[in-house]
Amino acid sequence: MFSFSPNEIEQFEESGYFFPITVLSGDEVKVCRDSLERFEASQGGSLKSSQRNKAHLLFKWLDDLIRDPRILDPVEQLIGPNILCWNTLFWIKESHSKSFVSWHQDTRYWGLSSDKVLSVWLALSPASVESGCMRVMPGTHRGEVLPHDDRYHEDNMLTRGQEITRGVKETEAVLMPLEPGQISIHNYRIAHASGPNNSGDRRIGVSMHFMPPDTEQIVGNWDSAALVRGEDRQGNFEPTPIPEKDFDPLAVEFQQKAARAMSEVLYAGAERNTAKL
Ligand SMILES: O=C(O)CCC(=O)C(=O)O
């Protein structure tokens, strides 16, 4: 079982990130990647934007992963024994693509009340400096939410191309390269970004967003989450169904409703909604 040292927990609280932790073997990563890419081949192209969010409702192996002790043990040590998974989200940059993620803080857009929400980012292919791994601004999760501007750049993977306009010092950024099967963890308040993929392989990551059950959705009227450990005494989120197989029809129907509700939250107050749902 993975265990943080007291020092590492203190460091996480101060800096807002931790990496790497190896959670999957090479064989296990291959099973996940093959399943994703078999599905993409069957639909004739990469995941569509409507399939990126709440993806554990589409892929059974991803629902298994959000319940995997190798992921939940470190999460529990950071946010406590009762854990909801709010979302799972694919981040795929094709080889030699200009796709990038501008500096942003997720707390500004997700409509969640808690300061304790964590993103666990799992690499399913090499996330190197060359392929555009994530980088973070240590400590920014502890300050005010920084000003953002919606820029809608066509290569920006964020919904509205939101970008922090002040308060990021690129020279102080920390790169978080990961090997396939490794995770990084960051507090969703931290400023983070990533560059283009200049490598010959796809950069495939999937993030899993965990939170304590006393979190509330304060922008949308309805939201959902999976109870993955402990108990939920508050019941602030509708429980997501557990798929029995990939593309289980009931779970797919729920995913479509949940992804639409999430999109409304992410675009709340935006000048333009460019979602393709
Ligand atoms: O995958 C990336 O490059 C960015 C991911 C990200 O913004 C996130 O996990 O919150």
Q: Which domains does the chain have, with CATH numbers?
A: 6-177+188-266 (2.60.120.620)
Burial label, 104 (beta-carbon count in 10 A; 0-12, 13-18, 19+): buried
Q: Is 53 in the pocket of ligand 1 (CB under 6 A)?
A: no
Q: Which pLDDT band holds residue 58 (cuts at 50, 70, 90)? A: very high
163 vs 179, which has greater pLDDT? 179
Average pLDDT, stretch 141-170?
A: 85
Residue of 91, 159, 197 best suited for mutating to test ligand 1, as the one with most atoms within 8 Å of CB:
91
Report CA(24)–ligand 1 centroid distance (Å): 19
Identify the pLDDT of residue 269: 76
| Model pLDDT for residues 172-202, shown as the tens digit of each residue | 999 999 999 999 999 999 999 999 999 999 9
Identify the pLDDT of residue 267: 81
Residue of 128, 134, 156 best suited for mutating to test ligand 1, as the one with most atoms within 8 Å of CB:
134
Identify the pLDDT of residue 275: 67
Residue of 105, 192, 209 best suited for mutating to test ligand 1, as the one with most atoms within 8 Å of CB:
192
Identify the pLDDT of residue 163: 82
pLDDT(273) > 80:
no
Identify the pLDDT of residue 191: 96
Q: Which pLDDT band holds residue 266 (cuts at 50, 70, 90)? A: confident
3-state DSSP call for residue 215? coil
pLDDT(143) > 90:
no
Rounded distance between C-alpha atoms, residue 196 and residue 129, angstroms: 9
Rounded distance between C-alpha atoms, residue 194 and residue 175, angstroms: 9
pTM of structure:
0.95
CA atoms within 13 A on the CB side of 107: 23
The pair of structure tokens assigned to 10 is 């203190």
Rounded distance between C-alpha atoms, residue 208 and residue 134, angstroms: 15
Identify the pLDDT of residue 156: 84
Report CA(90)–ligand 1 centroid distance (Å): 9
Protein residue with least CA distance to atom 1, ligand 1: 91
Q: In what order do the strands lie in the sheet containing 224-229?
A: 17-22, 182-187, 118-123, 203-211, 83-93, 224-229, 238-239
Q: Is the peptide bond before 6 cis (omega within 30 degrees of 0)?
A: no
Rounded distance between C-alpha atoms, residue 187 and residue 116, angstroms: 7
The pair of structure tokens assigned to 193 is 């970004």
**Is residue 148 within 8 Å of residue 162, measured between CB atoms?**
yes
pLDDT(65) > 90:
yes
Identify the pLDDT of residue 135: 97
Which of 28, 52, 3, 19 is CA-nearest to residue 182?
19
pLDDT(78) > 80:
yes
Provide the H-helix boundaries in 44-128.
60-66, 69-79
Q: What number of residues does the chain have? A: 277
Report CA(14)–ligand 1 centroid distance (Å): 20
Q: Is 205 in the pocket of ligand 1 (CB under 6 A)?
A: yes
Q: Which pLDDT band holds residue 276 (cuts at 50, 70, 90)? A: low
Average pLDDT taken over every residue of the chain: 94
| Model pLDDT for residues 14-52, shown as the tens digit of each residue | 999 999 999 999 999 999 999 999 999 999 999 998 899
Q: Is 202 in the pocket of ligand 1 (CB under 6 A)?
A: no
